[in-house]
Amino acid sequence: MRYQIWNVAQPDLQGRANLEREGLHPLTAAVLSARGLASVEQAKQYLAMADAPLVDSLLMRDMDRAVARVRRTLNRGEKIAVYGDYDVDGITATCLLTRFLTEQGGDVTAYIPDRLEEGYGLNRGAVSALAEQGVKLIITVDCGITAVDEVLWAAGLGVDVVITDHHECKNILPAACAVVDPHRPDCDYPFKALAGVGVALKLAMALSDEPGRVLDTCADLAAIGTVADVMPVTGENRTIIQRGLRILERNPRPGIAALAAQAGLEGRGVNSVTIGYTLAPRINAAGRMGCAGIAVELLLTDDVVRAEELAVELCRLNKERQSVELGIFEQCVRRLEREPQPDAIVLADESWHQGVVGIVASRLTEQYNCPAMMICLSDGMGKGSCRSYGGINLFAVLEGCQDLLEAFGGHELAAGFTVRQENIPALRRRVAQLVRQQRPEDGADSVLDVDVQVDDLRMLDLAGVEQLEKLEPYGAGNPRPVLSVMGVRVASRSIVGGGRHLKLKLNRQGVNLDAIFFSASDWLPEQDSLVDAAFCPQINEYRGQRSVQLQLVDLRPSRQEQELYRRYLKGLDLTGEQARRLLPVREEFVMLWRWLKRQTEQSGPPEQTAADIAAAVARAAGTKEDLLHTRVCLDVLAERGLTRMTAAEDRLRVELVPTAGKVDLEASDILRRLRRLAGQE
C-alpha cells in the first residue's frame, strides 16, 4: 500500500445523470461530475478546449517592445540568435522561434549552451562568441530572467537582448530591450502558467499577421515542451496541447515521426502520456548528455533520412543516460540508508554527471516523499539541481537560502543553484528547516485522490475507456483519472518484467480485468484474496486485439478483509469460508517467530504496523505476504503467552515473553474456534 488514505470524491449523482442524458458514457460522466464539471455547458466547454481562442499576446508586458525590436532586426537584415535552454522546453522553444523567424526571412542561428561546459542560461563567453559572428540581437527562450550582468555585457558588445522566459523573477530585471515573462509582478497577462515554449509561441503569434496559422503550425512543438516541463494542463496550456496533439497525430514533423518510430510508438498514436514518458526523455537525453544540437537538428530537419539517423542517436543517448542515472541513484540510496534525511535530501559528490542529477532528484523525491537536491562538485564549487514534492515551493526555499548561494533560479517545482562546497552543510540544515515550515501537518503527502469508486465492473468497457481519453491532455492541474474498485478477487497473480512488476487478473461478479502494477513486486497478494485497487484505466493492444487494462496506482488488502478481521476479533458469527480464510498454517507461525526473535536480538522489540510486519516476514522468508494470517498468528502467540502486544494508534509493539518448556499452539482457543467454524474439527 503506497497511500495511507484514499480520498474518494463524493459523487454528484444529478450532474452525472445530466451528462449521461447528453450521450456521455457513464464512466466519462462520473469523472467529469466528480471534478466539478457537472453541467452540460461546463463539460462541453472543457472537452472543446482545443478550439478555444488564446488570449491576445500583446497583453503580456513588454510584448509590444519585443515585437518592435524583432521587426526592426528583420527589416534591417541583421543576424539574430535564438538562445535557449538545454531541456525539452528550451529545445522546442528554440526550434519553434528559429523556424518561424527563418520563414519570415530572418538570418537566424540557434544557440543552446553546453550543459556540462557552460551551464544554464546566458553566459558571457557565449554572448561574446555570438557577437564575433555578427549577431546583433539575442532572443532568449526559457531562460534569461535573471541574466542582469550578462545583458549588460551584451550591450557593451553592441548586442541587444530580448528576453522571453517563464521562470520566477527576482527583484531586479535585466536591462534588456524587452523582458517578456508572465511572472513579472507588473504583467497583467491572465494566464501565468505558460511554459517557456508557450511564451515563445506567443511572441511568434504577436509577430505574425496570421496568429491562428502560427498556432496551427507550431502547436506540436509547444505541446511537447509544455508537457515535458510539467506545466499545469489548464487554461491556455490545455488548448495549446490539444492543438499540438492534432498535428502530432495527423502530420508530424519528420524528426518527431522518426523518433516516435524508433521509440516503438509507430501506429499507436501520441498523447500527453507518450510525450511525457517516451518522446520527451529522448529529446531531453541530448541536452543532459551535452549533445543538445542533435535534438535541435532533429526537430528542424525536413530530411527524412537524416531524421532517422538523428532519432537513432537520440535513443542511444537515452540508454546511456539511463545507465548513468541508475548508478547515481543506487549510490544515493546506499548513502541515505546510512544517513537518512527525512525532511529534504541534499547530497553532493564530485563524480556525478551534471546532466542526469535532475532526474535522479526526481526519483529520490518519489522514493522518499520529500524534496531532493543533487549537487555536482568541482574545484570547491557545486552546481545543484532540485525537485519538489508535496507542494513545497522550491523557489521560495532557495530564496530563504540565498545568503548561502552564489546564484539560483527556477520555479516552484524545479530549480537550479550554485553553492560553495563549504556552505553545503549549512544549506542542508536550512533547507530541512524551511521545508518543515512549508509542509502541512495533516500528512497530506500520503493521500491518494480518487475520482470515482466503480461499483459495477461492466462500466469499464472499451467504449468507456476510449471516451475517457477525451479528457486528454493530462498533467498538472488535470491528472489522469484515478478510479477505485473495492473487494475484487485475485483470480491470478504473477511477477513479470524481470521481477519488477506485479501482474494480476481481478474478478468480480463474472467480470475479469487484467491489471499491471509497475515497480510493486514486493507484495504478491494471496490467490483468491480480496483486494481494493486504485488505478488508471487504459487500452492495451496486443496482436491486433484491444482490451481494457488497469494500470494500478495502489493496492491494499480489501477493507472487506479488514471487516472480516474485525468480526473475528469481536467474536461475531463467521461463515465456514470466512473461517478458512482466517486460518494460518504451522509454517506461518514458525516464520513469524523467527523474524520476531531476529528483530528483538538486533534492535529490540519491533514497533510496526501489522501490514509492515507481514511484509517484512514475507521478505525474510521469501514467501507471499498474508496480512490476515499474520494478524491471527500474532493474536495466537499473545494468547498462548509467548508474546506481549501493546498497540499505539496503528502500530504494534511485540515483546517476546520467556517461557519454561514448550507451548502447545494447537491448544489455542482462537485456532479451535476457527477450525470448528471451518469444519475442520
Kind and range of the H or E run holding 175: none
Matching CATH number, 562-678, of 3.40.50.150, 1.20.120.80, 1.10.10.10, 1.10.2020.10: 1.10.10.10
556 pLDDT higher than 70: yes
**Can you tell me the distance from the alpha carbon of 393 to that of 437, in angstroms, rounded to the nearest whole number?**
11
Answer left, alpha or beta for residue 675, where phi above 0 means left and psi between -120 and 50 means alpha.
alpha
Give the predicted TM-score (pTM) of the model.
0.73
Q: Which amino acid is at 377?
A: L
Residue 525 DSSP code: P
pLDDT > 80? residue 650: no
Q: Which of 359, 166, 201, 374 is nearest to 277 (CA)?
A: 359
Task: Kindly report, residue by residue over 80-107, the tens digit of the pLDDT.
Answer: 999 999 899 999 999 999 999 999 999 9
Contact yes or no for 449/482 (Cβ under 8 A): yes
Reported CATH class of domain 57-234? alpha beta
SS3 call for 122: coil
176-199 pLDDT, tens per residue?
A: 999 999 999 999 999 999 999 999
Question: What pLDDT score does 446 carry?
Answer: 65
The Cα–Cα gap between 259 and 273 comes to: 15
Calpha distance 212→204 (Å, rounded)? 11
Q: Which band of pLDDT confidence, cut at 50, 70 and 90, is reported for residue 142? A: very high
Cell of 488: 475484487
> Residue 551's pLDDT is what?
94
Residue 657 pLDDT class (50, 70, 90 cuts): very high
Q: Residue 75: pLDDT above 70?
A: yes
Q: Does 518 score more than 50 pLDDT? A: yes
Q: Where are the domains of the chain?
A: 12-47, 57-234, 340-445, 562-678
> Mean pLDDT over all residues of the chain?
90
As a whole number of angstroms, the distance between CA 614 and CA 623 comes to 10
Residue 226 phi, psi (nearest 5): -65, -45
Predicted local distance difference test score (pLDDT) of residue 444? 45
Q: DSSP letter at 146?
A: T
Nearest one of 41, 7, 35, 9 to 468, comparing CA atoms: 35
CB-based burial of residue 575 (10 Å sphere; 0-12 exposed, 13-18 middle, 19+ buried)?
Answer: exposed
In Å, what is the CA distance from 133 to each residue of 104, 129, 451, 672? 21, 6, 56, 90
Q: What number of other Cβ atoms are within 10 A of residue 429's Cβ?
A: 14
Q: 160 — alpha (psi -120 to 50), left (phi > 0) or beta?
A: beta
Q: Output the CA–CA distances (angstroms, integers) from residue 490 to 497, 504, 526, 562, in the order listed.
A: 19, 7, 7, 16
User: How many CB atoms are located within 10 Å of the residue 529 CB?
Assistant: 18
Element at 367 (helix H, strand E): helix 357-368
Residue 185 preceded by cis peptide, ω within 30: no
Torsions phi, psi of 336, nearest 5? -75, -25
Rounded to an integer, what distance in angstroms lies between the CA atom of residue 284 and that of residue 620? 40
Report the relative pairing of strands 501-508 and 483-496 from DSSP bridges: antiparallel
Distance (Å, rounded) from C-alpha 615 to C-alpha 618? 5
Percent of the chain with pLDDT strictly greater than 70: 98
> Cα separations (Å) of 455 from 24, 27, 269?
18, 11, 31
For 592-607, give the secondary structure using H, E and C: HHHHHHHHHHHHCCCE
Which of 82, 116, 69, 16 has the alpha carbon at shortest distance from 459? 16
User: Half-sphere exposure of residue 301, counting CA atoms within 13 Å on the CB side?
Assistant: 21
Nearest alpha-carbon partner for 110 in 295, 244, 290, 280: 295
Longest Cα–Cα distance of the chain, Å, equals: 100
473-511 pLDDT, tens digit per residue, is 888 788 899 999 988 888 998 988 888 889 999 988 788
Identify the weakest region by mean pLDDT among 146-155, 267-276, 289-298, 667-676: 267-276
Alpha helices per DSSP H over 157-252: 196-207, 211-228, 235-250
Q: What is the CATH number of domain 340-445?
A: 3.10.310.30
- List the single range of 219-228, 447-456, 621-630 with lowest mean pLDDT: 621-630
How far apart (Å, rounded) are the C-alpha atoms in residues 361 and 426? 20
The predicted-structure confidence for 421-461, as pLDDT tens digits, reads as follows: 999 999 999 999 999 988 765 444 468 899 999 988 889 99
Residue type, 144: G
Determine the Cα–Cα distance for residues 641 and 644; give it in Å rounded to an integer. Answer: 7
Q: Verify cis geometry, omega within 30 degrees of 0, for the bond prior to 481.
A: no
3-state secondary structure at position 198: helix
Residues paired with residue 494 on neighbouring β-strands, in sequence order: 503
Neighbour count for residue 565 (Cβ, 10 Å):
18
Q: CB-hemisphere CA count at 13 Å for 213?
A: 6
Asked whether residue 600 carries a pLDDT value surpassing 50, the answer given is yes
Please enumerate in sequence order all residues whose Cβ is within 8 A of that of 468, keeping only pairs 6 or more positions apart, or say none: 25, 27, 28, 31, 481, 537
**Model confidence over 317-364: pLDDT tens digits?**
999 888 998 999 999 999 999 988 989 999 999 999 887 888 899 889
For residues 469 and 269, what is the distance between their CA atoms, to the nearest angstrom?
12
Please tell me the total number of residues recorded for the chain in this structure.
681
Residue 189 · residue 57 · CB < 8 Å:
no
